[in-house]
């Protein structure tokens, strides 16, 4: 027994010695902590898989909505690697329009997101599936980084269940929130995902620096933030978000916190210096084209503008709590008026004293006031208030999208809640976990969180289906956005495309009439809206109503006289109307073009008019008038000389006819019809030998040319 007691005593002394040595080399409590050597990967993997599940059903969707502006119709993107230089030296919309256009205040400079699309195009061509899969993975990764940031800010007690912590619940609620579906399901919105992903990485690097004091984290913070801004400028608000968070939840002394922000500020300066060098003064300009779809408050009074803004701000709060119904389209008068209200003369805006606007004003005043109160109290040494932090986080990241500072090009859009909703989901998770759900095991907080998560996820996955195609999106939202000219236009366009599909031949007329109804409604809402005018011209062409087709193409050309495609369409309708005997419609179509064209193009139209009057209507006076105009526009148009020669021959002026036929022959010596006319005219004038020469040559070129003579 004595020996055993001595052995036990020696073990205790040895263990004590080891403990003393460990204590001697351990850093003091206020020294920087070393990087953790181990991490629980379970919540990280769970978040990543959850993010994939939420948007996995979008993997094989097509390109939709603004994807054409960024990808499928953007010439810089479609050049692949060769387009990268242009992407980094131009506004992002230049590749679509071919020139700089002031469509939104301040312009858009987001070269990094566009670069990823160009690389994909180079490697995979036009492949929507690849693009969607990349977006899904990026979105899931963004969720992981959010979790890591929140774990650094809100450290949890050891032994606490990983799935019932504030960081985990806040992250899953954020990922699942249905207002984010456009960001997750639309390829174009990669700029939103990348921007938040890199901003969170920058924030994470700041937090790691404050914890470990390693300079590499400062460098990374600057790099990540520059990449965030190059993806989309809206994360500029993180210059305020990071200090705000460190005020409410300090992670180091004041000096270190200030140092940690230095690389973020330097990255911001570097980005805006590049932006200014590319966009010039346009990058700081608030002047945009006076077009309702890009300047939604164009026709509003100052009073209507402010009341309408607070109306939409109230709706944003409602969508945070109750994300239904959802829509992608608020252009130009949704949610302020329905189609029926607009038709009977309702304003496209609201004014004071709109109850919803008043509620919005009061609600945001309370949110701002409460947030500032908790901030000032915190600065004076008071306890951190999670609700106050959430209020300021929401307002600080949302202010850019409010239309209060400048017009953003839309009344509202659900994707604008993407980053600001962090100010909702973080406090919500805190209430559920720390206030309601402190009880171990099954508790009210856990039940509410489960209900919210299931509801959010189901709504998100179901809503994703709307983004499968432009047609699916329009069909899903045309009922919700009843006051939107844009969604009705899109619905009509999709029905027109379906009507043109040979497999729908049996119901072509029905589809065309449905398309017509939607386009006419779109014009009722916005009478000078170009796309429905264009589409109606096509619809009536398919219906064989060439008079109406000419009418709508004519209206479209008044809005965009330089649109080459519209000119081609108008000429095609006029030619078809002429062939179908609808001469008045054809004349109107041709005459609408003569004011817009020059040179050879103008000569061709005048020639068509001359032929129509002479050949189809036997109006030789007008025929000759327009043929002469055709020659004035293009003196080398051999076809016009031939037609004019025929007119002179029919009016018994053989000498003038001969002059024109010979000029036509000079310009086009291999034209069998010209040779035939020369032969017949010479035969009529008694020049038999010359006539036979022309006729033989005509037959050599075209053996059928004498048929019917």
CA 324 to chain centre: 22
Q: What is the rounded distance in angstroms from the CA atom of residue 135 to the CA atom of residue 574?
A: 46
Q: Which of 5-14, 36-45, 292-301 has the lowest mean pLDDT?
A: 5-14
**Tens digit of pLDDT for each residue in 55-72?**
999 999 999 999 999 999
Q: Does residue 451 sit in helix, strand or coil?
A: helix
pLDDT in tens, 687-707: 999 999 999 999 999 998 877
**Interatomic CA distance for residues 488 and 147, integer angstroms:** 40
Query: In the numeric block, which tokens belong to residue 407?
Result: 């017009």
Give the CATH architecture of domain 508-596: Alpha Horseshoe (1.25)
Distance between the two ends of the chain, CA-based, in angstroms?
137
pLDDT in tens, 127-184: 999 999 999 999 999 999 999 999 999 988 776 899 999 999 999 999 999 999 999 9
- CATH 1.25.40.10 domain span(s) along the chain: 508-596
DSSP codes joined into one string, 17-48: HHHHHHHHHSPPTTSPPPPPS----HHHHHHH
The whole-angstrom separation of Cα 139 and Cα 182 is: 12
Task: Give per-residue burial for 92-121: e unless 16+ CB within 10 Å, then b.
Answer: bbbbbeeeebbbbbbbbbbbbbbbbbbebb
pLDDT of residue 496: 97
**Other beta carbons within 10 Å of 456:** 22
CA 121, 125, 127 angle in degrees (round to 5)?
Answer: 100
CA–CA distance, 591 with 554 (Å, rounded to integer): 10
378 vs 290 pLDDT, higher one: 378
Q: Assign 288 a pLDDT band (cuts: 50, 70, 90).
A: low
What is the Cβ-side half-sphere exposure of residue 481, based on CA atoms within 13 angstroms? Answer: 29
CA torsion 200→205→206→212, rounded to 10°? 150
Across 91-105, 153-167, 392-406, 426-440, least confident range:
91-105
Spatial distance between the Cα atoms of 703 and 695, rounded to a whole number of angstroms: 10
Q: pLDDT tens digits for 484-498?
A: 999 999 999 999 999
Q: Is the pLDDT confidence value at 16 over 90? A: no
Of 300, 326, 301, 348, the closest CA to residue 483 belongs to 348
pLDDT of residue 169: 98
Residue 25 has a pLDDT of 31
Q: Are 409 and 294 in contact (CB under 8 A)?
A: yes
394 has a pLDDT exceeding 90: yes
Where b means 16+ CB within 10 Å and e means fewer, 683-692 reads: eeeebeeebe
Give the rounded distance of the alpha carbon of 53 from its chain centre. Answer: 24
25: its two tokens: 């080399």
Q: Does the pLDDT at position 509 exceed 60?
A: yes
Q: What is d(CA 132, CA 468) in angstroms, rounded to the nearest whole number?
A: 11
Q: Does 29 have pLDDT greater than 70? A: no
- What percent of the chain is modeled with pLDDT above 70? 92
Reported residue count of the chain is 709
- What pTM was estimated for this model as a whole? 0.86
- The yes-or-no verdict on residue 557 having pLDDT over 90 is yes
- Return the closest-CA partner of residue 390 out of 111, 153, 676, 582: 153
Instruction: Tell me if 499 sits within 8 A of 517, measured CB to CB.
Output: no
CB 661 within 8 A of CB 674: yes
Q: What secondary structure letter does DSSP report for 89?
A: T
Average pLDDT over residues 337-346: 93
Contact 661, 639 (CB under 8 A): no
* Angle at CA of residue 633, ends 630 and 639, nearest 5°: 45
HEC assignment per residue over 397-433: HHHHHCCCCCCCCCCCCHHHHCCCCHHHHHHHHHHHH
> SS3 of 484, please?
strand
Q: Which pairs count as long-range contacts for 149-158, CB under 8 Å and 24+ apart, including other chains?
A: 149/200, 149/203, 149/204, 149/207, 150/426, 152/204, 152/207, 152/208, 152/211, 152/251, 153/207, 153/245, 153/249, 153/251, 154/249
- pLDDT for the residue 1: 44
Whole-number average pLDDT of the chain: 91
How high is the pLDDT of residue 21?
35
Which residue would you say has higher pLDDT here, 669 or 7? 669
């Amino acid at each position: 027994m004595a020996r055993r007691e001595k052995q036990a005593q020696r073990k205790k002394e040895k263990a004590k010695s080891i403990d003393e040595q460990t204590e001697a080399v351990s850093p003091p409590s206020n020294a920087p902590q070393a990087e953790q050597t181990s991490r629980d990967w379970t919540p990280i993997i769970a978040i990543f898989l959850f993010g994939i599940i939420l948007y996995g059903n979008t993997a094989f969707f097509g390109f939709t909505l603004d994807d054409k502006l960024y990808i499928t119709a953007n010439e810089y993107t479609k050049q692949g690697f060769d387009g990268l230089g242009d992407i980094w030296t131009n506004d992002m919309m230049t590749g679509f329009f071919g020139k700089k256009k002031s469509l939104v205040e301040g312009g858009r400079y987001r070269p990094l997101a566009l670069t990823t699309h160009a690389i994909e195009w180079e490697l995979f061509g036009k492949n929507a599936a690849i693009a969607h899969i990349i977006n899904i993975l990026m979105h899931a990764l963004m969720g992981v980084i959010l979790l890591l940031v929140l774990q650094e800010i809100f450290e949890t007690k050891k032994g606490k269940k990983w799935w019932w912590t504030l960081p985990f619940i806040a992250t899953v609620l954020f990922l699942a929130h249905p207002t984010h579906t456009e960001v997750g399901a639309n390829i174009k919105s990669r700029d939103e995902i990348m921007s938040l992903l890199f901003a969170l990485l920058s924030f994470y690097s700041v937090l790691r620096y404050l914890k470990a004091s390693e300079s590499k984290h400062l460098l990374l913070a600057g790099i990540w933030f520059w990449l965030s801004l190059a993806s989309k400028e809206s994360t500029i608000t993180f210059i305020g978000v990071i200090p705000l968070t460190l005020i409410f939840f300090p992670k180091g002394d004041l000096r270190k916190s200030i140092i940690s922000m230095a690389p973020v500020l330097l990255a911001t300066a570097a980005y805006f210096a590049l932006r200014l060098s590319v966009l010039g003064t346009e990058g700081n300009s608030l002047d945009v084209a006076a077009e309702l779809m890009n300047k939604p408050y164009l026709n509003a009074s100052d009073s209507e503008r402010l009341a309408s803004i607070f109306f939409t701000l109230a709706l944003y709060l409602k969508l945070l709590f109750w994300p239904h119904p959802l829509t992608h389209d608020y252009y130009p008068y949704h949610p302020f008026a329905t189609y029926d209200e607009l038709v009977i003369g309702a304003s496209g805006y609201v004014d004071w004293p709109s109850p919803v606007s008043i509620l919005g004003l009061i609600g945001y005043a309370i949110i701002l006031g409460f947030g500032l109160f908790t901030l000032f109290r915190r600065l004076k040494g008071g306890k951190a208030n999670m609700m106050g932090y959430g209020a300021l986080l929401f307002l600080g990241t949302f202010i850019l999208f409010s239309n209060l500072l400048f017009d953003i090009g839309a009344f509202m859009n659900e994707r604008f809640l993407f980053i600001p909703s962090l100010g909702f989901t973080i406090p919500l998770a805190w209430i559920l976990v720390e206030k309601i759900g402190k009880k171990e095991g099954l508790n009210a907080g856990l039940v509410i969180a489960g209900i919210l998560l299931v509801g959010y996820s189901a709504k998100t996955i179901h809503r994703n289906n709307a983004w499968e195609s432009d047609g699916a999106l329009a069909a899903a939202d045309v009922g919700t956005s009843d006051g939107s000219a844009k969604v009705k236009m899109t619905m009509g366009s999709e029905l027109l495309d379906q009507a043109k599909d040979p497999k729908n031949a049996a119901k072509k007329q029905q589809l065309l009439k449905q398309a017509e109804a939607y386009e006419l409604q779109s014009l009722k809402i916005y009478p000078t809206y170009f796309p429905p005018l264009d589409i109606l011209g096509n619809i009536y062409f398919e219906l064989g109503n060439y008079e109406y087709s000419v009418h709508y193409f004519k209206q479209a050309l008044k809005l965009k006289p330089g649109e080459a495609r519209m000119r081609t369409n108008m000429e095609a309708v006029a030619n078809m109307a002429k062939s179908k005997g609808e001469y008045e419609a054809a004349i109107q179509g041709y005459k609408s073009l003569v004011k817009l064209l020059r040179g050879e193009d103008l000569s061709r139209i005048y020639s068509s008019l001359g032929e129509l009057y002479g050949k189809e209507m036997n109006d030789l006076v007008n025929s000759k008038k327009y043929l002469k105009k055709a020659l004035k526009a293009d003196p080398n148009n051999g076809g016009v000389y031939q037609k004019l020669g025929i007119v002179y021959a029919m009016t018994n002026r053989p000498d003038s006819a001969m002059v024109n036929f010979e000029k036509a022959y000079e310009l086009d010596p291999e034209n069998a019809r010209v040779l035939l006319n020369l032969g017949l005219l010479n035969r009529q004038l008694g020049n038999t030998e010359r006539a036979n020469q022309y006729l033989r040559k005509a037959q050599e070129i075209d053996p059928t040319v004498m048929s019917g003579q």
